[in-house]
Structure formats: structure tokens, C-alpha cells
Structure 1
Amino acid sequence: MRINSSVPFRVLAAITLIAIGCSARVLRAQTAAPAGETRTFVIRNARVFDGEKLLSSTDVSVEKGLIKAVGKNLKVAPGTKEIDASGDTLLPGLFDSHTHTWANALEQALIFGVTTELDMFSDYKFDAEVRKREADGQNLHAADLRSAGTLVTVAKGHGTEYGLSIPILASPADAQSFVDARLAEGSDYIKIIYEDGSAIGRSIPTLTKDEVAAVISAAHNRKKLAVVHITTQFFARNAIEANADGLVHIFEDVPPAPDFAALVKQHHAFVIPTLTVDESSTGVASGASLVADERLSPYIDAPTAANLKKAFPRRVESKENFANALAAVRTLHTSRVPILAGTDAPNPGTAHGVSIHRELELLVEAGLTPTEALLSATSVPARAFGLDDRGRIAPGLRADLLLVKGDPSTDITATRNILAVWKTGAEARRAEARAAVEKEKQEIAAAKASPPPAGSESGLVSNFEDGTTAAKFGAGWSVSTDLTAGGKSTAEIKWVAGGAEGSKGALQISGMVSDAVAYAWAGAFFSPSSAPFEPANLSSKKAIRFWIRGDGHPYRLMFFTKSGGYMPAVQNLAVTTEWKEIVVTFSALGTDGHDLSGILFTAGGLPGSFQFAIDNVRLE
């Protein structure tokens, strides 16, 4: 996860989605195998990459979701489904070893061949629900999940800025109890933040080296892995010296020191470089080429495509920085340090599932052979994280499989030419996913052809000059809080005298944010359609302009769209006690406005009372 407060971060949006109940609908859609599906079949004559080596013209038989045999001319029971894979390549299902999981991310990942995600920070309650469904056999059409759950950070450190209420480590003496609390929540391993913001010219609090070492030791006391988020070589070295099991980013700030790789090798650590998000952090949208790839594009929905085309703001030293990251991976690989493929999805320029194919391409650019890149997404992460039942194609292991056209051992981009994906022998619903994307395209075309809401021509939403809270079009303003998610936050909206630039009045939003739920919110919601939460075509507009002032608490603007699955794009707002005019473009929020269903001005992130006001809200 990269730091950049100016870019909407979709993990927060996902948490909000979970809060309003949409994730439950997504999870219910992930059903068990249909009645009569035995998950038994045989794949014939495939080129097989078994997670360690290539086998020519080989059969793989699957029985009840497990690999039964690997060899030539395998005998199977009469009536067994046979798949001719002559000229194609069969791989173990892929790992993405660094993600942040939310909503339908795991289902999306499976469509693109990722059968296991190693999550590096998410809502542990969401993780628990996924685990339960997995144990009950109700998650066959979504990637399997292992998760760090709640990360380890300090007050106001990285990880606290996304709207979650994060427990913080106070001192090294608290390390064991802190780690034990995470394990009680269900964490499969421990993720530690060791990040002071210096890599992007910021200064934020972080753990001390002693605290990092104490947390690592506490995890090891419970026989759990401890991995460390870093973005500079200085912190990377410290983390390795503190006995971290792995680094979950690679640094870009300086070229790798001559002894850095040897240090990592000496400590038997692994590295998950996340080159895709590193590339996006330089201002280059790492995922743009994926959207343009005809082998992948029919399965990429509109919100995913929009995020893949995003990037972090470009810095002057961007090109040089990315070269440092590539050089660091190259020297680590030369020293035989285990490299694991991970994307840091869903940061700007990345997405679940599809971005692993760009990550593999970048690992080859960094010096790995295509076969070594395949290792980084199969047997290497399985071994590093102790998942001995997957990552290879061998008798007795899970039938997590990926069948592609062509030979990715010579052309790594052949992993994009997917013919079929199986998770424990259940085939992924790729045809349904493709049909859904095609339907979405048709709906978008129809929405763009529909008339805009009556009264929206001028773009003015409300200027509050008439002494009321009325809007010029749509269903108007209403209160929105986390009560629907079991929270206890409250809000009130009312007209008050004295608006921006000496105007007559403004809309005041006040209330209290509770810490009863981690994703608390409270604010004012505008429905641009005549019916609440129905989409409206506002594609003739390109931005929202408004005035705002408040009490210094964190505030956010959220845009809800139908094509975004009603998951909001989020923009943090810099609010002071003085009136300030802010303009946010639709493109910055990942929409063109053709299906805008709601705009929310909200408090959140810090519990307690709040009060802010908005004025002269308009779309232009």
C-alpha cells in the first residue's frame, strides 16, 4: 500500500461498501459447486509447468478437486470429462502475494488466474467471513485468501489514514500482547509498517527499529511470519537486521548498495517487490497496457479499467526511482533471494487478478527469466508462506490450475491468453464475467444517451440563498450515517445564515462520529436523480466545485456510481475554519458522470463531534 493523500484510495471505498451491506450480496453470489459437478476431469497433452519445471505433452487428472495423477496417457474412469490442451500450457493457479482485499476482489482475481491472494491489510471481520465461506465450500468461485488482517503501526502512522480505527503499538513491551490480539482476530501472519514518508517528501511517525524487532520476535514466538512494509533502503536494511521474514515492497529512493542482497540472503528473507505499484508511483499508470490488451480487455469492467489507467502524481526523479527498484530486484535475484510476485492491488494503476500479469512482465524486465517469473507466482510464495497444498502440479495437491494458450516460459505475456481457470477443480465463470462486461458496455452506452436530470442544465446543485436546504434538481439532500452498518454515528443538516463570499446562507452538517464500527461515517448525501440512489446522466459535466469550511477534522467527498458497483470513489478534503473553494474533477474520481447516483460530504476517520458547512455546490 502506497502513501499519497491526494489520490483516492479504494480500500477505504471498499470498507464503506462493506459497511452498507453490498459485500454481503457479493459474497452470496459466490456459491458452491452446482449440483452434479464432481470436479473430476483430465487435461490431455498439455505443456505443463508444474511449479518447478516444464513437462512436455503431459496429462493431468483431477478427482474431487485434487490432482490425482500427472503423466503420459493416463487412464481414467469411463465418462470422465477430457480436455484436449495440445499446444497449450497448464500452470498452477497463480499467487498474488501482496493485495488488499475487499468486496468482490477475490472473485475478480480468479477470473484472471489468481487462485490465492496474500492480503497485507484489510478488515479482519471481512476476512473472517471469507474464511468461513471457504471452510463451508461456499467460495469456489473466488480466490482463496490468507491475510495479515490489521497491520502494526503507530499513532498517525501509515495505515491510519484510510478511515479504519487502527489499534496502535505503544512500546516494545506491548509487542507480544499486540501480536496475540492480531492472531486472535485471525491474522495468518503479521504485517509491520516501517515507513516515515521520506520517500515521497513527507514526514510521518513510524515504529522504531527496536519496536520492529520486538514485533518480529513476538510473531516468531507464535511460529508466525512477520513481513515489513518499507519504501527506503535504510528501513529495508533495518528490517532485515531485525530478522524480518520478508519485505513487502522494494525501495526506489537510491540504487541498491553492493552488500544489500547479500544481507537479505544471509537472513534467509524473501522480497515481494510490487513493481506494478512502484511503476504507478512514478506517475506511469502500470495497468494501462492491460486495458489495451485484447486478451484481457473483454474481462475488465469499467471501474477496474478506470483504476488501471490511474497513477500517482509524477515526481521529477520518477524514471530514476523506478530504475532503482528494477536494479534492486535484479541484484536480489542474482543473489538467489526468493522473489514473490505481488501487485499491491487495488492502488492506482493496479487491480485484483489482472495486474499479476503486468507484475510478471516487470519481473522479467528486472532480470528474471519467464520461467523464474512463473516460479515467483507459484511454488515460491507457496513455500515462503507454508502453503504446501498448492503452488505446484503434483498428486495430492489442490487442483488450482491455469490453462493458457501459448508458452509463457518463452513469452511471459502468454499468461494473459487464458483458456480456463480452476480452483480446487471448480472452473471459474469466465464466460459469465465476459458477458457481464459486455452488458455493462451496452448499459453505459444507453446511459450516456439518456437525458440529464431535469433542472441540471446550469450545473447548480445548491447555493442555499433561499433560506432552505433545497437542491435545484434531483431528490435533494439527506443525512447519511453508518447506522445501516451497526454504527452509532449521528448527523444533522440544516440551513445556516452566512455563506461563502458573503452569501446569505450555507448547509451546515454536524453530529458525532462513533467508534462503534471501524469504517464510521456521517454526513450529507445528495441524490442527483429524482429517486434516491438511482443513476443520473451527468456526463456533460466534468467536475464538482464547492466551498467548504469546518473545525479541522478530516472530511471526505465520495462519488457513487452504478458502474462502480455503488462503491464510492473517495477524495480527502483539506478543511480549515476559513471558507475554501475546492474543485475535484470527475476523472480524478474515476468516472465520466454518466451514471452518478450520489454525492456524499462526510466526516470520518476520527471519533467525536464535528461540524462543517458547504456552500455553492455546482457541477461544471
Structure 2
Amino acid sequence: MCSPRFPLRSLRIPLGSLREPQNQKHMKKLSLFTLLGWIIFACSSPSHDLLITNVNVIDIVTGEVLLNRTVAIDGDEITAIYTKTIKPQAGTEVVDVTGKYLIPGLWDMHVHNNWNYEDTNDLLVANGIVGAREMWGDMKIRRKMDEERASGKPIIDIYSAGVLTDGAPKIWPSSAEVTTPEEAEALVRCQVAQGADFIKVYSRLDSACFFTIGKTAIELGVPFSGHVPDSVSIIDALAAGMLTSEHLYGLQELGYSELELKEVDSLFEVGNRIEALQKGLKFFDSSAMKEKLQKLDLSKHWFSPTMVTLRGVRSMQDSVFTSDPRISYLPNYMTEDWKPRRTMGSQRMMPSLELMQQLYQNDFQILTNLIESKAQIIAGTDYPNPWAFPGFSMHDELEIYVQAGMTPLQALQTATLNPAKVMKNDRIGSVEKGKLASLVLLNSNPLDDINAIREIESVVLRGKVFDRIALDEMLQEAKNKAALPSLMEWFQTVQDMPKELMALENKLDSMSTKYHLSGLEFLINYVGYNLLGENALDQAMEIFALNTRMHPHSQNVWDSYAESFLMQGDTVNAIQYYQKALDMYPCNHVIEKRLLALKP
């Protein structure tokens, strides 16, 4: 029986009502209808799009388990959390999850997702990852993902850096390189204007460029994060306002004396890498590191350890990792670089497995020191680096944090509450009214055992429920796609590659069921440049033009198309297409310099 609650003032009788009304019968009917209306209004259940009933909600802030709640969702938002049973209205979707546990969706705070999201997105969702911090952004790809998300596709949310910003000589060919403070400032301003959420700094920046990047980013109201450069100490990086640092870089040196640090650095400078690593292990003093940490103001800085990648890189010769069955979910192009020879150079220069394991134990000790020092930590995996599996490895990362001394609640916070703080996003991070309805439903309590996050019953992504059947279908589809032969295997069977590529434009759908088409853009470019080298200019131009039709949003293909004109002496068309490429992403200073050199 409903017990409607009326405001007390609604039951007060105005003095004027004590007089007999002229039409008493009419007034009695009106009062009766009014009272019935109040009762109906008070007794009716509110209408919602989705009700998750009988669920145990994990309060991610306090660690309290709120038993037997009903979570109401409308659109992409949590609109209420009820302690009582709510009668569903017509059209309301009801999911009864008696005995299950609800946590906020997880965020992976260090990923390289841009160039592989079509192969990894479903793996992320199926493992409870609802958002990621992209550490090497491409605004064109980000806009494409935004469009797909807006169309209803289950694309995770992205918080993105601009282009990776390095010093000279840059480590990665497609990253940006700055050598003066003026270049550094201009690049930051350009990236922010293009929509970057933060600036990613890298290892070879000199100190002047690093500090200029930091100053400019702070002036523009965006964070700067990434590698602590070789030229800057972790102490100076924190003082400059660096928001997050990755991979524990710069922390090892806190365990050295000044003389020991100089000795290790000198060994690296002369190329004696293995001896430098051995000396570093010998010199490292954990107590000295903790003592220095206690003297630092860590309140405005966050560490992203990426332990699964540190462990993976240190374990590339370990069959325990190289036989991991989760590799079946990833296409060959993602795992080819996991082989030691490709990643670390020749086998002769590869440190022994014993030394690599010692290095990982040292990494683990540094993580333990951070936890004991109450440093602020965010969880990131750095996939697809060696043995960092999209989605799956976030569970591994949190398990490592617990092994290093965190409580399960603290570990969960590194992938939920803490990311919300870092990104200043008050719509995520907890299960509360007004928050984004991106959630993970677990079969058991993760506060008892962090490995409960591996046993996912359902994922809610912006209000849409993906049950266990749907998640398993995502995983199976990813595995089926990963098993397809690569384009390189097709390449080796073709006699007349230019002819086959030209025909491919009209049969992509049928090809996609037989081969994994990732890397098609680069294969077409490869063939085009080979034809240029053979002086088959007309064919080369056709191939480059084909690539612009098949990948019209790629700056790289328009840049190559422009270069093909330039190689034939056609500066007019070269300028036209270099400009088109630059318009796609004005922060590419390499193309900008080419244009300046060509224009009269």
C-alpha cells in the first residue's frame, strides 16, 4: 500500500475555507479529484529508460558496499539510485542482477589507440574499459572516432594528446621535433588550437624546450605530461608543473648519489648499455629514494607506472609471456614488433633474461616506494607494447598494484576516481546520480579480491547494456579478425601488384573477409614509391591518386601525392597538395617547411 507524503502546508485549512461555499457540492467534487490526483502522483513510479535492480554498488570513494540498490539510467546518465523497489513503466528496460557488484567503468590512462582502434575497441569494451587517454594523438582519427561514437557505435571515450613532441634527433620518424624554445612554443599553441587535451613530451627534448612547453601549456590551460626527458630531473619536472609522468622515468635516479648518477650516465653516453644497467641496479638505494620522495611535494603530480609494459619489455625472452594465449586476439601487425630482434636489436646485444628480471624487480620496488610514500597513481598499460594486451592487461596492471601494497579499493581508484581528477571530468569516476552511465557489472566483490574485475557480467557504455553474450561475441569477432592472413601474405601471391591494387578499390568488401586490411594505406604508398624508383611515373601517379581516394582523411597520403609531383618537377601541383596535407593538421612543421621552400 502506498503511503503518499504531502507537504504539511498542503494540509493546512485556510481560514476562509471555514465559510460555507456557494456551491458546496461542486467544491467537494473538486477537492476529491485534487486529493486523488495527489495520491496518484505520489504512488506512481518514475519513468526511466533503464533500471539495474538488486545490485550492490561499490562506493569508489569510501569503499562502502551499498546493498540491493536500483540504479536508474536515462540516456547516457545515471539519474537516480533507489534504496527501494521501483515499479517499471511501459518501455523501461529492466536488468535484474541480484548478487552482482557495480563499479564505474575503467579508464586506461596510457594507450596508443589511434592507429589500431578498429582492432582494439571491442577488446577494451569487453574488458570493462570505457575510456582511454591517448598518448600520441591524431586529431583526424579522433574526429573520425567522435563521428562513429555519435552515430551510435560502441566507441570508447578518448582524452587525447596532440602529436608526440620530441627533441633532436627524434626517436620516432612521425613524431614532432623541436630544437628551439620558439619552435616548442609554436607547436604547443598549434596543438591546443587543433583540439589537443594535453601536450605529450618525450625523452630527447632539451631542458629549454621542455620548460618552454610546460610554461606555454600552463598559460593556455592545458596539462603537459609524458616522459621525463633525459635532460631534466624528476625533481625539476615536478617543479615545472608536469601533471603526469610515465613508466617511472626519472625515479631511479632518486636512489643514486650524485657520483653514482654521473657514472651511470657516462656509461650510457659511450654506448655501454648493459654495464650501465648493471651499475644502476648495484647503486640503487631504495631507502635513499623514499627519503627524497618524502621531501617532494607530490600533491599536484600523478605517476603512470605502466607496469605491464615494463614487465613485458623485461620478459621478451620468457616463455611464460611469449606463450600467452591472449595473443590470439591481436593481428600480426600489432605483435610483430614484440619479437626481441625487432625491438631490442641483435640477440648479441640483448641483456640476459636474468638481468631483465632483475630490472623488473627494481621497477616493482620503485612502485612499492611510491605507494608507501602516498604518491598519486593512475593506471595505464601502454598497449600495444610487448605483452600489453588491449583491455585484458588493465586487469593485470591493477593486480600488480595490489601485489605492491595497494588495497583493492586503491587499485580500483587508479582506473576510475583518479583519472576523473587528472582529466578534471566530474561526469566519470564513480557510480552516482548525475554521472555518466558507463559502468561495469561484476560477478563478485572486487574489494575482497581485485581479480574479480576479470569476471565481468555486463558492461554499460553510455547507457547501453552489453551483456555477457554480447561481450563474448565481441571477443570472438576480434579473434576471428585477428586470424585473417595479413596484406603482406596477399602481397607475396600477386604477380602484378599495381594492377591488383587498382582493382582492389572496387572489391574491398570481399577482400576484408579474406585478409586483414590494416596497413593498406602504407602498402599502397610502398608500391607507389617503388614505381617512382623504377621511373614508372604514370603508374606511380595512379597509385598515389588511388591512395588519396581510399584514404582521403590521411595527411600522409596527400603528403606522398605532393611528393610524387615534386619528384617530377611539377611544383605547382606539389604546392597544392602539400597545402592540402598541411590544412588537415597545421602542426606538421615538416610539411610547413617544405611549403616555405617551394613557394616563391
Q: Which of the five TM-score ranges fits, normalised by the shorter chain?
A: 0.5 to 0.7
SS in structure 2 at match of 1:492: helix
Q: Does the 8 A contact of 1:343 with 1:350 survive in 2?
A: yes
Aligned counterpart, 2:102:
90
Contact 2:329 2:482 in 1 (8 A): no
Match of 2:212 among 192, 207, 214: 214
Task: Tell me the equivalent position of 1:248.
Answer: 246
Q: CA deviation at 1:328?
A: 1.7
SS of corresponding position for 1:383: helix
Once the two structures are TM-superposed, the CA of residue 176 in structure 1 deviates from its matched residue by 3.1
**1:475 and 2:484 matched:** no
Matched, 1:186 2:195: yes
Distance 1:291 1:430 in 2: 26
- Cα distance in 1 for partners of 2:396, 2:432 equals 27
Task: Report the equivalent of 1:67.
Answer: 78
8 Å Cα contact 1:231/1:249 also seen in 2: no
| Structure 1 residue 356 corresponds to structure 2 residue 403 | no
Distance 1:114 1:432, change over 3 A: same
2:465 corresponds to which residue?
427
Contact map agreement 2:68 2:98 (CA 8 A) in 1: no
Opposite residue 57 of structure 1, the aligned amino acid is L
Q: Mark the CA change 1:286 to 1:210 in structure 2 (over 3 Å): closer, same or farther.
A: farther
The CA deviation at 1:50 is: 2.9
Residues 1:45 and 1:266: Cα distance change in structure 2 (over 3 Å)? same
What is the alpha-carbon distance in structure 2 between the residues aligned to residue 153 and residue 57 of structure 1? Answer: 50
**Does structure 2 retain, via aligned residues, the 8 Å contact 1:87–1:405?**
yes
Q: CA deviation at 1:320?
A: 2.0
In the alignment, the residues of structure 1 paired with residue 176 and residue 230 of structure 2 have an alpha-carbon distance, to the nearest angstrom, of 25
2:422 matches 1:413: no
How much has 1:372 moved relative to structure 2?
0.8
Are the structure 2 counterparts of residues 285 and 484 from structure 1 closer, same or farther at C-alpha, using a change threshold of 3 Å?
Answer: closer
Secondary structure of 1:258's counterpart equals helix
Q: What secondary structure, in the 3-state scheme, does the structure 1 residue paired with 2:177 have?
A: coil
Conserved? CA contact 1:482–1:521, under 8 Å = no
The CA deviation string for residues 16-72 of structure 1, in whole angstroms up to 9 with x for no partner, is: xxxxxxxxxxxxxxxxxxxxxx98222223232232123242322212221122242
Provide the C-alpha distance between the structure 1 equivalents of 2:212 and 2:78, rounded to a whole number of angstroms.
Answer: 41
1:171 equivalent in alignment to 2:180:
yes
| Distance across 2 between alignment mates of 1:76 and 1:288 | 52
Task: Say if 1:288 and 1:309, in contact at 8 Å, map to a contact too.
Answer: no
Could you tell me how far apart the structure 1 residues matched to 2:67 and 2:464 are? 23
| Cα offsets for 1:377-436 (capped at 9, x unmatched) | 001111111011011111011111001111221211111111111111112476355346
| Post-superposition offset of 1:155 | 3.3
State which of 289, 304, 308 in structure 2 corresponds to 1:272. Answer: 304
1:581 maps to what in 2? Answer: none
* Match in the other structure for 1:372: 410
Measure, in 2, the Cα distance between the counterparts of 1:291 and 1:408: 28
1:236 aligns with 2:246: no
What secondary structure does 1:51 align onto? coil
Q: Which residue of 1 aligns with 2:531?
A: 492
Secondary structure at 1:397 match in 2:
coil
Give the Cα separation in 2 of the matches to 1:288 and 1:434. 25
Distance 1:100 1:73, change over 3 A: same
Please say if residues 103 and 440 of structure 2, whose CA atoms lie closer than 8 Å, have aligned partners that are also in contact. yes
Q: Does 1:48 align with 2:57?
A: yes
Contact 2:77 2:436 survives alignment (8 Å): yes
In structure 2, what residue type is equivalent to 1:169?
V
* Alpha-carbon distance in 1 for matches of 2:336, 2:471: 18
The superposition leaves residues 558-605 of structure 1 with CA deviations (integer Å, 9 ceiling, x where unpaired) of xxxxxxxxxxxxxxxxxxxxxxxxxxxxxxxxxxxxxxxxxxxxxxx9
With over 3 angstroms needed to count, the CA separation of the structure-2 counterparts of 1:214 and 1:117, relative to structure 1, is same
Per the alignment, residue 67 of structure 2 pairs with 57
The equivalences for 1:93-132 within 5 A come to 93-102=105-114, 103-104=117-118, 105-132=120-147
Which piece of structure 1 moves more, 48-57 or 356-365? 48-57
Task: Tell me if structure 2 keeps the 8 A contact 1:265–1:336.
Answer: no
* Shift in Å, 1:315: 2.5
| TM-score (ref. length: structure 2) | 0.63
Shift of 1:141: 0.6
Q: Secondary structure at the match of 2:176?
A: coil
Alignment check: 8 A CA contact 1:370 1:411 kept: yes
Decide which of 419, 422, 429 is 1:381's aligned counterpart: 419
Quote the Cα distance in structure 1 between the aligned partners of 2:411 and 2:351: 29
Q: Distance in 2 between matches of 1:401 and 1:138?
A: 20
Greater strand percent: which structure? 1
Q: How has the CA–CA distance of structure 1 residues 445 and 110 changed in structure 2, closer, same or farther, with 3 Å as cutoff?
A: closer
Give the match's secondary structure for 2:384: coil
Indicate the structure (1 or 2) with the bigger Cα radius of gyration. 2
In the alignment, the residues of structure 2 paired with residue 445 and residue 110 of structure 1 have an alpha-carbon distance, to the nearest angstrom, of 20
CA distance in structure 2 between the partners assigned to 1:335 and 1:440 by the alignment = 41
- What RMSD over aligned residues (CA atoms) do the two structures have, in Å? 4.4
Q: TM-score, normalised by structure 1?
A: 0.61
Which residue of structure 2 lines up, in the alignment, with residue 401 of structure 1? 439
1:193-248: CA deviation from partner (whole Å, max 9, x where unpaired): 1x2xxxxxxxxxx1122321221111110111111313879743332232211102
Aligned residues of 2:334 and 2:384 also touching (Cα < 8 A): no
Partner SS state of residue 155, structure 2: coil
What secondary structure sits across from 2:555 in the alignment?
coil
Please state how far the C-alpha of 1:174 moved relative to its aligned partner.
3.8
Q: Distance in 2 between matches of 1:446 and 1:305?
A: 13
Q: CA deviation at 1:263?
A: 5.3
1:281 deviates by: 1.4
Q: Alignment partner of 1:278: what SS?
A: helix
Deviations 1:130-155 (A, max 9, x none): 23444xx3255121011002122123
Q: C-alpha separation between the residues in 2 aligned to 1:235 and 1:157? A: 20
Could you tell me the percent identity over the aligned residues?
A: 20
Distance verdict in 2 for CA 1:150–1:209, change over 3 Å: same
Q: Distance in 2 between the 1:176 and 1:370 partners?
A: 42
Unaligned runs of 5+ in 1: 1-37, 196-205, 462-472, 497-508, 524-604, 609-620
Which of 365, 376, 392 is equivalent to 1:338? 376
Q: State the one-letter code of the partner of 1:397.
A: K
Preserved CA contact (<8 Å) 1:209 1:239:
no
Whether contact under 8 Å (2:440, 2:459) holds in the other structure is: yes
